[in-house]
Structure 1
Amino acid sequence: MESTSLYAVFFVTLGLNYFFALSGKGAAAFQMPIFVWLGFPINTAKSVALFANTISLSTATFDNFRANRLDLKLGMPIIIFSFLFAPLGAYLSTFIERNILMWMFAIFLLYAGTTALIPKNPNSKTCHDRHPKIVYLSIIGATAGLFSGLLAVGGGGVIAALMLWLGCKAKKITMITALAVPFSSFSGFLTYAASGSISWPLIGTVGVAALLGGYAGNKTAHSFLPDKVIKYTIGIMSLLFAAKIIFDLI
């Protein structure tokens, strides 16, 4: 493997994971095609992109935990029900045409992203003012798990969009998605690693870059950016994901 390719991988991973960590999301969906373009086999590209997700968002979660920012009461129902419903989504995926699901997901992300960019009524309550009922959080987790299983994607986009709709503060949302997504990403990485689709020099390069990018992005979001900017970042990320899905479908 040429060192120039590893340098390119390092800076691509660093930049993308920094940018996506601002909204508590992983960058795997965008990293994977870039890695393929750089000449890596597709399964290798998938495995290292998922590994970058795991490292970046785990680092962000560790930083949130150390700074006492984690709200486990808010996050645990989402994580538990996402974990429980992901296998059901994977089972149902054998009966439903994937392209139909991807179009539905893209439309949902377009709606969620657009909604996030529309200024909210300043007099409306948010989950900063009141803690959402556990049933709402459980439904968010179950929905994210179903989408994750159906589409073989992380549920961060679904979690972020539904929590925005519920009225949660953007910084709370980034903490929850950063906590939830590494579980599914690491599971996917192990699947590809078990099949032999792994390159240790590439994994090492991606791991260091994702750690630095995830930490710096999370630190920037929580120390320097107002909640409104993070909300807009989440909205832009949702629209970018929707655009990529539609581009892949047409």
Structure 2
Amino acid sequence: MEPFLYFVIVFCLSILFSFLGMGGAIIYVPLLYWLGMDLLTAITIALLLNVVTTFSASMTYIKKKMVDFHTAAPFIVSSAIAAPLGAFVSQSVPENTILTVFSLIVALAGLIMIFSRKIGKSECGIKAGRKERLVLGIALGLFIGILAGMLGIGGGTFLVPALLLLGFGIKAAPATSSLVVLFSSLFGFLSHIGSLEIDFFLLGGMGVTALVGGQIGSRLMYLRQDRLRVFFENYFSRILGIVLISIAVMVQYSLIGK
């Protein structure tokens, strides 16, 4: 495939996922795999793109003072511990097993995205204290770290709904999630870097594209008009959830054909 098409895809996805406080690896991994890359290379590149996108977005969110560093810290530390374990698992089990686990996780993420806005709008938001946030941060951070290392998923799809449940606002949740996903993806990438086999011109071009897209997506969080805001809050998470479930089904279907 022409490098230009890779750049266009990464640009569009980085805008979209930085807006949502995610890195986009949950889409990048199956997409790059279907475009002909081996699975471990697709995972490694997806994690790197996650790092660039969420770094770009986090710079904007930090400047806007929307990131809760106290909540993010335990997620970051525990994901750093778990990411190498996930990478070891991914390099030690058959490819079909990884893809099966990936499809199940993506399907679960899709269901969470479909119902996450209901969590954010309902009365179930918890004004959690420091102890509760610490416990949740360590537990969910370990889970996110394993996902990053094993499947190349930064974990934002699970973290944003969790933060909404804790009582975070519609802007603070993606902002804090971006910082956590930045580090979980970085630790996952460093655990996989030895398996990276790709044209570094292509990799650099995708990285720059993700950096620009991350800036645009994070700034859209503050520029969006009322109609666009209503659309994203009411419909977009459901549409994304359906897309994720469809990807999970397609991955499973491709495995049946092997």
* Superposition TM-score, scaled by structure 1 size: 0.77
| Separation in 2, partners of 1:231, 1:168 | 17
2:156 counterpart of 1:143: no
Query: Pairwise mapping of residues 197-216 of structure 1 onto structure 2 (< 5 A)?
Result: 197-216=197-216
2:30 counterpart of 1:27: no
Read off the aligned partner of 1:242 and give its amino acid letter: I
Query: What value does the CA root-mean-square deviation take over the aligned residues?
Result: 3.6
Alignment equivalent of 1:241, drawn from 241, 244, 249: 244
Residue number in structure 1 paired with 2:8? 11
5+ long unaligned stretches in structure 1? none
2:74 counterpart of 1:77: yes
How far is 1:192 from its partner?
5.1
Check conservation: 1:23, 1:233, Cα contact below 8 A: no
Check conservation: 1:169, 1:227, Cα contact below 8 A: no
Greater alpha carbon shift after TM alignment, 176-185 vs 103-112? 103-112
1:61-85 Cα distance to aligned partner (Å, 9 max, x none): 1111222222101211222223234
| Separation in 1, partners of 2:102, 2:36 | 27
Q: Report the count of equivalent residues.
A: 245
Read off the aligned partner of 1:243 and give its amino acid letter: S
| Separation in 1, partners of 2:34, 2:98 | 24
Q: Secondary structure at the match of 1:22?
A: helix
| Separation in 1, partners of 2:148, 2:59 | 23
Q: Secondary structure at the match of 2:154?
A: coil
Check conservation: 1:47, 1:192, Cα contact below 8 A: yes
Sequence identity, in percent? 24
2:179 counterpart of 1:176: no
* Superposition TM-score, scaled by structure 2 size: 0.75
Read off the aligned partner of 1:208 and give its amino acid letter: V
5+ long unaligned stretches in structure 2? 254-258
